[in-house]
Amino acid sequence: KNEVEQSPQNLTAQEGEFITINCSYSVGISALHWLQQHPGGGIVSLFMLSSGKKKHGRLIATINIQEKHSSLHITASHPRDSAVYICAVRRNTGNQFYFGTGTSLTVIP
Amino acid sequence: KAGVTQTPRYLIKTRGQQVTLSCSPISGHRSVSWYQQTPGQGLQFLFEYFSETQRNKGNFPGRFSGRQFSNSRSEMNVSTLELGDSALYLCASSLWAGEGHEQYFGPGTRLTVT
């Protein structure tokens, strides 16, 4: 069983749509990260969360520690948002990182 | 500031050989982490270094090793390469180790083992 589960695995949206990607985890964590990976491999860290909610531009990330669940929302999606979005957690014992398998997002103009 | 740099960017090796990959963190960053990404397993954590000390290690065999130098540059070594070691190897740097510090990723080294 994976420590981090993401859904959906693949997502296709029309430009302008509101998008939600979900992440559930099974271990105690000190923080959760949302990463964005574009074709070619480059990874950008979008958010680091330990509680509540964060917002950067059109991106919003929330976390519910009690339910061990996080969501990444993209408002007014744009083709440049097309990428793989990866959820990662740092365990609070041992400090190990665990990664979800990623959500591949395609936004169609 | 220059970003995280990794060398080489691409590498082809033969089974049984060894390989050394290099990572130069952002100036002033003292923590470097290494990750392996494969189509089958996704991203997996390899090691984390801070001030020349390995702080954490993922579930990889002893063929995978690393080190960090006094200037925070880091190297990872894989000995006795296997076909399954073909992957994108990413490093990331942060100001300090542990939580609360954002990680900045390098472009990766794509290793192909034949």
Residue A61 has what pLDDT?
Answer: 97
- Would you say residue B58 has pLDDT above 70? yes
Residue B92 has what pLDDT?
Answer: 94
Residue B95 has what pLDDT?
Answer: 87
Dihedral angle, C-alpha A45, A49, A54, A59, nearest 10 °: 40
**Best CA proximity match to A9, nearest among A63, A109, A86:** A86
Residue A1 has what pLDDT?
Answer: 64
- Would you call B78 helix, strand, or coil by DSSP? strand
Distance set, CA B33 to CA A8, A106, B51, B92 (Å) = 28, 29, 12, 5
- Would you say residue B11 has pLDDT above 70? yes
Taking any CB pair shorter than 8 Å as contact, residues of chain A touching chain B are 30-31, 33, 35, 41-45, 48, 50, 86, 88, 90, 94-102
pLDDT digits (tens, 9 = 90+) for B82-106: 999 999 999 999 987 766 678 899 9
pLDDT digits (tens, 9 = 90+) for B32-41: 999 999 988 8
Residue B99 has what pLDDT?
Answer: 66
Residue A84 has what pLDDT?
Answer: 96
**Which of A30, A41, A95 is facing B107, going by the closest CB pair?**
A41
Per-block average pLDDT, block size 10, for chain A (109 residues)?
91 97 95 91 89 95 96 97 95 84 96
Which of A34, A97, A99, A104 to probe the B interface (max B CBs under 10 A)?
Answer: A97
Residue B102 has what pLDDT?
Answer: 81
What is the DSSP secondary-structure string of B82-96? -GGG-EEEEEEEESS
- Would you call A15 helix, strand, or coil by DSSP? coil
Give the span between the Cα atoms of B27 and B95, in whole angstroms: 9
Give the span between the Cα atoms of A85 and B90, in whole angstroms: 16
Residue A40 has what pLDDT?
Answer: 77
Q: Report CB contact under 8 Å: A44, B98.
A: no
B60 contact A CB<8A? no
Residue A16 has what pLDDT?
Answer: 97
